[in-house]
A and B are shown apart, each in its own frame.
Chain A
């Protein structure tokens, strides 16, 4: 399925991020079309996660600009970027460990809630309605990603479920773009396949675009409309899966040069 042509959702132009003398991301330009599933691949240490972090505001890009949905979001704090419609998961799972699965998802709804401090103290009717809504919507999202026990503590969930919970928590902010950082790490092939289905569903049923960092090539090649390859912080190739698969520089980056 190709991007359906109604424009660019995310555009990162000439992003560079340095840490002291280390250039982690070097002049990478990149777009996510609306309704697309786009992947970033590359060997370990290629700068994929750093690139993610500059998109979501955890790092400020040293140079370059990020615009989302026509707005410049370069260097904005993370919560504003989430508010604008980008949600993410983390490579090393970062759930709120002592909260239940449902509470984790409720925190994810933060940018969409309005209840103020006074309303929360007096239990204003609008606040009560909002709280009920968070519980209903939270349960629905947990079900959507395949979690059946909303009141289990998140740290007691098995690994694959924790990954799924991270996705539910990210979806709670009603994003237009979902950034998944190695979502299938630690999953068995069957679970990976389920996750691939989930991504397709997100796009077709909820109109959410997906930006994916992934090492599982079967998932990447099957699900992506477009793939960008990073190596040593630089973009070395991009294109459709079949183009990238046969690209010489990509093969070199992964397998080493044959010369």
Chain B
């Protein structure tokens, strides 16, 4: 165990050194440049259909990144363990189903779309849809969050889990809004006036950039909120509810904002994935999905925005690209199953390895690291204060 610990400590300082080579804005530009160049460069390097598969996986990944960032607000910042996040994915996806398809036959309404107004149903521009989806889902975040305000830990997890099950079942049985088990399909293609209709699933770079833009918006809001008055209140509530309340933090409002903002991003991403997959179907909204998003946060580094993004990319790519590419390996060595069929087993194993070797995730937040390795961080801080103030007497060691 100590070997693993010192190993991860070395890795950590290594990461720190790499990070200090360039200023923050330079790193931002580099990653942004890579993300923009990605659909033109990387898929061409792969042979056969793998390039298209990679791009398809990447578009899905962008949606998952948004959801992981949203759930990170609830779980990572505010410390509210939510196991029903899939409900918000469902709300967002159904909003795009309602406002961008022929689901409601008696209505003929279109707004800034390529669809002819004579066709039945609502056909609203995608930009409007994602805004409506985020707002609608955010409100549902408050509605589902409100009954849980007095709960903590395990109890909170169980209630949110129940909500995550209830919402898809309601959609499944309320055929008027969901078309039952068949789901809503087709969904209007994303359209921008002046650009035209995006040509996915044939040409994926357009929708990739839409997803990338949505990730950047999410990231921006996430970071701004984290460093604000509200963000400090979230962390205070996570650390000690009693002390936070005594310092004037309104617990009800602070928690509800976490649920609202977290859910809104779930809906934001849900609308995107619904439009991209061209279908909204209750089979997409299973409990396993909530866990999948939660795993991204845990693996990446709970509470740390960069870590969460990395965790989301890693798990999503594993699920959507790497496992399908290696699908026939068991067959080749004479075993009669597909690798994708055991994906949750592989995730579980991966998670287990992570929990043993690096429980704080790839890129943990300083706060989280402190909880899991308090001894190490204490030493580091003592070293630092010794360097910082050579003239002053050193504090006595604290045990």
Q: Which residues of A contact B (CB under 8 A)?
A: 56-58, 77-79, 82-83, 87-88, 90, 94-99, 103, 106-108, 110-113, 115, 117, 120-123, 127, 130-131, 134, 148-149, 152-153, 155-159, 169-170, 172-173
Asked whether, in the complex, the Cβ of B232 is within 8 Å of the Cβ of A103, the reply is: yes
Question: What residues of A have a CB within 8 angstroms of the CB of B370 in the complex?
Answer: 97-98, 153, 155
11 of the cross-chain contacts (CB-CB < 8 Å) are A79-B250, A87-B247, A97-B239, A98-B235, A99-B239, A107-B247, A117-B257, A117-B261, A121-B225, A122-B224, A173-B248
Q: Is B335 an interface residue when CB atoms closer than 8 A count as contact? A: no
Asked whether, in the complex, the Cβ of A153 is within 8 Å of the Cβ of B249, the reply is: no
Contacts known (A79-B251, A149-B385); A96 close to B235, Cβ less than 8 A: yes
Closest 7 CB pairs of A and B: A111-B248, A98-B367, A120-B228, A82-B248, A94-B243, A78-B245, A96-B239
Q: How many chain-B residues does the 8 Å CB contact rule pick out?
A: 43
Asked whether, in the complex, the Cβ of A158 is within 8 Å of the Cβ of B396, the reply is: yes
Question: What residues of A have a CB within 8 angstroms of the CB of B228 in the complex?
Answer: 115, 117, 120-121, 127, 131
Give the distance to chain A from B170, nearest Cβ to Cβ, in Å.
29
- From B220, B242, B388, give the contact of A94 (CB < 8 A): B242
Contacts known (A156-B378, A156-B381, A159-B398); A115 close to B246, Cβ less than 8 A: no
Question: What residues of B have a CB within 8 angstroms of the CB of A98 in the complex?
Answer: 235, 239, 366-368, 370-371
Q: Is B240 an interface residue when CB atoms closer than 8 A count as contact? A: yes
Question: What residues of A have a CB within 8 angstroms of the CB of B314 in the complex?
Answer: none
Chain A, Cβ-Cβ closest to B378: A156
- From A108, A149, A152, A155, give the contact of B247 (CB < 8 A): A108
Asked whether, in the complex, the Cβ of B371 is within 8 Å of the Cβ of A110, the reply is: no
Asked whether, in the complex, the Cβ of B221 is within 8 Å of the Cβ of A121, the reply is: yes
Q: Is B159 an interface residue when CB atoms closer than 8 A count as contact? A: no
Question: What residues of A have a CB within 8 angstroms of the CB of B398 in the complex?
Answer: 156, 158-159
Question: What residues of A have a CB within 8 angstroms of the CB of B230 in the complex?
Answer: 117, 120
Q: Which residues of B contact A (CB under 8 A)?
A: 220-221, 224-225, 228-233, 235-236, 239-240, 242-251, 257, 261, 366-368, 370-371, 374, 377-378, 381-382, 385, 388-389, 392, 395-396, 398
Question: What residues of A have a CB within 8 angstroms of the CB of B243 in the complex?
Answer: 90, 94-96
Contacts known (A56-B246, A90-B243, A98-B239); A153 close to B371, Cβ less than 8 A: no
Question: What residues of B have a CB within 8 angstroms of the CB of A82 in the complex?
Answer: 246-248
Chain B, Cβ-Cβ closest to A77: B245
Q: Can you add 17 more A-B contacts, CB < 8 Å, to A107-B232, A156-B377?
A: A58-B242, A79-B248, A79-B250, A96-B236, A98-B366, A98-B367, A103-B235, A111-B248, A112-B248, A131-B228, A131-B229, A148-B389, A149-B389, A155-B374, A156-B382, A159-B398, A172-B247
Chain B, Cβ-Cβ closest to A166: B243
Chain A, Cβ-Cβ closest to B380: A156
Question: What residues of A have a CB within 8 angstroms of the CB of B395 in the complex?
Answer: 157-158
Give the distance to chain B from A99, nearest Cβ to Cβ, in Å.
6
Question: A153 CA to B368 CA in the complex, in Å?
Answer: 13
Question: A82 CA to B378 CA in the complex, in Å?
Answer: 32
Give the distance to chain B from A77, nearest Cβ to Cβ, in Å.
7
Question: What residues of A have a CB within 8 angstroms of the CB of B261 in the complex?
Answer: 117
Question: A170 CA to B243 CA in the complex, in Å?
Answer: 10
Question: What residues of A have a CB within 8 angstroms of the CB of B389 in the complex?
Answer: 148-149
Question: A150 CA to B80 CA in the complex, in Å?
Answer: 28
Question: A158 CA to B378 CA in the complex, in Å?
Answer: 11
Give the distance to chain A from B192, nearest Cβ to Cβ, in Å.
24
Give the distance to chain B from A134, nearest Cβ to Cβ, in Å.
8
Chain B, Cβ-Cβ closest to A120: B228
Give the distance to chain B from A5, nearest Cβ to Cβ, in Å.
30
Give the distance to chain B from A194, nearest Cβ to Cβ, in Å.
16
Chain A, Cβ-Cβ closest to B365: A98
Question: A83 CA to B388 CA in the complex, in Å?
Answer: 37
Most buried by A among B248, B250, B368: B248
Question: A130 CA to B249 CA in the complex, in Å?
Answer: 17
Most buried by A among B220, B229, B261: B229
Asked whether, in the complex, the Cβ of A121 is within 8 Å of the Cβ of B247, the reply is: no
Question: What residues of B have a CB within 8 angstroms of the CB of A115 in the complex?
Answer: 228-229
Question: What residues of A have a CB within 8 angstroms of the CB of B231 in the complex?
Answer: 120
Question: A159 CA to B398 CA in the complex, in Å?
Answer: 8
Give the distance to chain B from A208, nearest Cβ to Cβ, in Å.
16
Asked whether, in the complex, the Cβ of B235 is within 8 Å of the Cβ of A121, the reply is: no
Chain B, Cβ-Cβ closest to A114: B229
Chain A, Cβ-Cβ closest to B374: A155
Chain A, Cβ-Cβ closest to B224: A121
Question: What residues of B have a CB within 8 angstroms of the CB of A56 in the complex?
Answer: 246
Chain B, Cβ-Cβ closest to A94: B243
Question: What residues of A have a CB within 8 angstroms of the CB of B236 in the complex?
Answer: 96, 99, 107
Give the distance to chain A from B181, nearest Cβ to Cβ, in Å.
38
Asked whether, in the complex, the Cβ of B388 is within 8 Å of the Cβ of A106, the reply is: no
Asked whether, in the complex, the Cβ of A110 is within 8 Å of the Cβ of B247, the reply is: yes
Chain B, Cβ-Cβ closest to A122: B224
Question: A43 CA to B246 CA in the complex, in Å?
Answer: 25
- From B221, B249, B367, give the contact of A79 (CB < 8 A): B249
Question: A150 CA to B10 CA in the complex, in Å?
Answer: 27
Give the distance to chain A from B246, nearest Cβ to Cβ, in Å.
5
